[in-house]
Chains A and B, each alone.
Chain A
Amino acid sequence: MVHKTTVANFEISHLRYLNEHSKLTQNLPTFADDKTLIELLRLMTLTRELDQQIINLQRTGQMGTYPSCQGAEAFSVGIGHAIYKDDVFCPYYRDQGTTIFRPQGIMGLLQYWGGDERGNNIDSLDQDLPISVPIASQCLHAVGVAYALQYRKQNRAVICTIGDGGTSEGDFYEAINLAGTWKLPVVFVINNNQWAISVPLSAQTACQTIAQKAIGAGIDGEQIDGNDVIAVRETVREAIDKARSGNGPTVIETLTFRLSDHTTADDATRYQPQDVVQQESKKEPIARLYNYLLATQIITKAQYEKMSQKCKADIDKSIEEFLKIPKDKATSPFDHLYENLPEALIDQYHEIGATK
């Protein structure tokens, strides 16, 4: 009989405060006073209103292909509420609820998905990276940004988001590996919504959790209930504080469910079992928090209806403004291609400038 000794042991924790029946499973964390919980509910409601109105715009030909964030509201609003203003955000493309906290904002999102690069430059002092469409590539930007903050001895952190499918990419592994090796101030938050377009998580990895991928990089990994905005806000803030104080990176896996098509060009009924969708929709984040606040009389039905109407009015106003923005000039792709337009491109610049 060969004798082997155990040289290392690992475990992955799971955190939630509010379960799918809107019942507290433990005492609330200190940040979660009534006012903050109402604000989180408002922001999730605003995010869903924005999402639905963008889909409506797409269906009426006023918006390009768009990835809905339904089911990701607690994930993204929890992060947005946890990030400090001077942190740097490296988003993927289903982060609408985080972006509304950042300088890009609602108008930037509308312009970006509306096919206008100016949506990535709403505020000239903004240091966030724009949404990264090539999967997981933002994870490497995040470690580069984190190096810059560490090199300058700034107590700031980088927050990078990614989907479950993205954690199959080499860039994700390379990024968490470097983050661990250099003890970088970065937090990776994974929206594990169970689907990478049509491919379920079971076809994506043999890992029992995605959080455990962090173990391979020698860094902390934890799993939380991503439909519980309280758990998201608490865990992400804790990881950010850890990063900002020089104690290294964290991987946070949030368990959610994509309650939408992948994008407006997708039809999820082709591959998502409808009984599973129905089951998962009962766990969704907005109703979960609302029912808790209603049951504990922190909010009334009338107050919530008023809040929802205000969210709708705010989004209506933004969209009205967005639709009035004239498109950029045809020469604009030349204006920011290089710092200065090379001589070799001047003829092309004039050629496109003459087109209508």
Chain B
Amino acid sequence: MSAITLVEAVNQALAYELNADENVVVFGEDVGTNGGVFRATDNLAAQFGNNRVMDTPLAESMIAGMAVGMASQGIRPVAEFQFMGFIYPGFNQIVSHASRLRNRTRGRLSCPIVYRAPYGGGIHAPEHHSESTEALFAHIPGLRVVIPSSPLQAYGLLLASIRNNDPVIFLEPKRIYRLVKQEVPNNGEALPLDRCYTLREGTDVTLVSWGAMLHETQQAAIELDKQGISAEVIDVATIKPLDIQTIINSVEKTSRCVIIHEAARCCGVGAEIAAQLCEYAFDCLSAPIARVTGYDTIMPYYQLEKSYLPSVQKIIDATLNIMETV
């Protein structure tokens, strides 16, 4: 078995499920003949036919809304938005319909849809191609929000998302699409949703992150270790519903927490995690919860994106700052 990248793991999961379930269909802009602008759907149209892997007209509300209609009849649509920055025309369909259909029909119809979108900064892209707005979706009842951080996770979580009977916003951190390779057995085994993953065990501080930022977070943990600070690293992975218990358990052990995300700080998912830690684990905190995040500004064009995004050094500094608190 050869090692594959995160984007190849996405492709492998899509192919596995297209093969396993004839109700699964894949569509979006350029996903057919071209195999997607990042090649996530490479070769799928040739393999499964263009009535199951479809190039759609260029219309994102249509992509989001037709998925609702398909899903209402038992199709399991995997819809791609080419970039998260172009998901907003589909926002009405996702928020007003996909998230609500099960409830408003009291279970008669449901939306087993996966809305995939590459997201996040760091690839020198034009404007609107670099934002991280997972919090918009995490706020909406009825949606799931899933963000993998490795090829293994991308494979297992995407399979789980396709098989899940509720709508999932599956955000792929494109900065790490090809950053690392892992051996990913093509065995069709899904990972559980609603679970955080502990990537590194530690005793002094809990670093909580997701997606591409885990790359910097894990590097920071290695550097902190050199300074005698043992950091536990938690990959949230399933942003919604949030497995707060795993984070609470960790903070009960370490008594300190730093939350790292590249989205803007205000009302970010970090705010929800911090609020729940204050509600449920306040007594065991020996320092304020710290956040290392993008700024509450417009995501800058790529010349300045490095100064916008959390860095290893910013994570180390924020951690050292709360370590000083008794």
Are the C-beta atoms of B166 and A137 separated by less than 8 Å? no
In the bound complex, what is the Cα–Cα distance between A147 and B74 (angstroms)? 11
8 Å CB contacts to B: which residues of A157-192?
Answer: 158, 170-171, 174-175, 177-178, 181
> How many inter-chain contacts with C-beta < 8 Å in the A-B complex?
146
Interface residues of B in 63-80 (CB under 8 A from A): 64-75, 77
Task: Determine the chain B residues whose CB is within 8 A of the CB of A356 once the complex forms.
Answer: none
Q: Name A336's contact: one of B25, B73, B106, B144 (CB within 8 Å).
A: B106
Complex Cα gap A151–B70 (Å):
10
Instruction: Output the nearest chain A residue to B66 by Cβ-Cβ distance.
Output: A144
A337 at the interface (CB under 8 A from B): yes
1/0 contact string of B2-38 vs chain A (CB within 8 Å): 0000000000000000000000010000000000000
Question: Do A137 and B65 form a contact, CB below 8 Å, given A121-B108, A151-B51?
Answer: yes
Residues of A with C-beta under 8 A to B164: 339
- In the bound complex, CA of A227 to CA of B93 (Å): 32
Instruction: Establish whether residues B61 and A339, one from each chain, have CB atoms under 8 Å apart when the complex forms.
Output: no
Does A120 belong to the interface (CB within 8 Å)?
yes
Interface residues on A, range: 35 or more
Contacts of A149 in B (CB 8 A): 73
B104 touches A170 (CB 8 A): no
Q: Are A148 and B74 in contact (CB under 8 A)?
A: yes
Q: Is the CB of A120 within 8 A of B105?
A: yes
Smallest CB separation, B141 vs chain A (Å): 6
Q: Within 8 Å CB of A109, what residues of B?
A: none
Of A121, A132, A147, which one neighbours B105 at CB under 8 angstroms?
A121
CB-based contact A120/B241 at 8 Å: no
Q: Are the CB atoms of A145 and B106 closer together than 8 Å?
A: no
- Report yes or no: A137 in contact with B93, Cβ–Cβ below 8 A: yes
Q: List 18 A-B contacts (CB under 8 A).
A: A127-B73, A134-B92, A134-B97, A140-B61, A140-B68, A143-B65, A143-B66, A144-B73, A147-B66, A148-B75, A151-B25, A151-B75, A175-B62, A333-B103, A336-B105, A336-B106, A343-B194, A343-B245
Spell out B's residues near A (CB within 8 Å).
Answer: 25, 51-52, 56-57, 59, 61-62, 64-75, 77, 89, 92-93, 96-97, 101-110, 141-142, 144, 164-166, 194, 240-245
